[in-house]
Amino acid sequence: MVTPRLLESLPLRERIARNRLWLPPMCTYSAAEDGVVTPWHVVHYGARAAGGFGTVVVEATAVSPRGRLSPRDLGLWEDAQVAGHSRLVEAIHASGSLAGVQLGHGGRKAGTPPWRPDAVGARQGTLAGWDLVAPSALAYPGHATPRELDLTEVRALVETFAQAAGRAVAAGYDLVELHGAHGYLLHEFLSPLSNHRTDAYGGTTAGRRRLVLEVVEAVREAVGDAVLGIRLSATDWTAGGLTGEQTAELAPLLVGAGADVLHVSTGGNVPAKVPVAPGYQVPFAARVRDAVAATATPVVTVGVMRSATQAEQILVTGQADAVAVGRPALLDPSLPLRWARDLGTEGWQAQGVPVPYWRGVWAS
């Protein structure tokens, strides 16, 4: 029997993911107030690893206290946070998944209340003692106006990301993913809608890309043989913003700077009318994949993935190398095992089904 493409292994640098299904980073706003992993995280991510995901990427983890999206974001801005992440990695590895973590800084969208009704925060002014910072003093609609970072602060961000990445590797993560999407700080620098600087980190396309490329280079050095990825919003879905063509042009530069895998999403930098539908972001991933074809850099796609057959078709047609499935996995942590069964493969055992779960394969 031919193994479905979705269930084939995926080489990532020196690591091998057991299949091509990713759990993408989804903020849960459940950390201790000092950014430390709690038992809840271990259960949450461990369950998705036991459920068969090849790669589990832990939610956006702040590289500095100021970069948090809420007081209950995970962090890796200090050494005291490493031990908790090590426990989290151990739980993910125990069920055979690669463990990844997304490192980010919220920029002008930091310090704003998430969807949790019990979160502490305020849209106006400062939150928990930190001020909002961004490439330019341009507010995200409805949020407080950020302070423009000066050149010294911008340059310091490179080391801030690198240090956090070093802690991630110390915790045992296989993959470090930089958050360059959804309107957060690195995306803000990339987009002309949020970056109005006229210095070396703005003014031109090359200037707006400078910080992201410098961060990738520094983090590449910091993580050694670990896998380095970056998540991108390929388009702002708004006139004058980032386009799929521009992101495809950026992709080889990111690979040249040291990125091993590109995770393609869209939007989030400005309010926009987004044509959400099954697989609506796949064409952007396909364009990026074409742009890095010469280096065979894996590209991950994400966004309204509703079935195993849909995901399989994306991979078979060469539009991406892996598929990330987020919201459905919140309610179905064993979604990969269910999809393996849906594809009719007799090799579902190879997906790491825990022995106590075997009887579930025949359940309706």
Written as six digits, the tokens of 12 are 């990532």
In what helix (H) or strand (E) does residue 282 lie, and over which residues does it extend? Answer: helix 282-291
| Four-residue CA torsion sign, 307, 313, 316, 320 | negative
Written as six digits, the tokens of 168 are 């991630």
* Strand pairing class (147-148; 322-324): unpaired
Output the furthest CA–CA distance in the chain (Å, rounded): 62
Q: Which of 29, 45, 173, 184 is catalytic?
A: 184
Beta bridge partners of 102: 177
Written as six digits, the tokens of 226 are 């670990």
Written as six digits, the tokens of 183 are 């309107």
**Rounded Cα–Cα distance for residues 316 and 119 (Å):** 42
Sequence-ordered list of residues with C-beta below 8 angstroms from that of 142, at least 6 positions apart, any chain = 123
| 140 in active site | no
Residue type, 293: A
Q: In this structure, how many other beta carbons lie within 10 angstroms of the beta carbon of residue 346?
A: 9
Q: Which of the residues are catalytic? A: 184
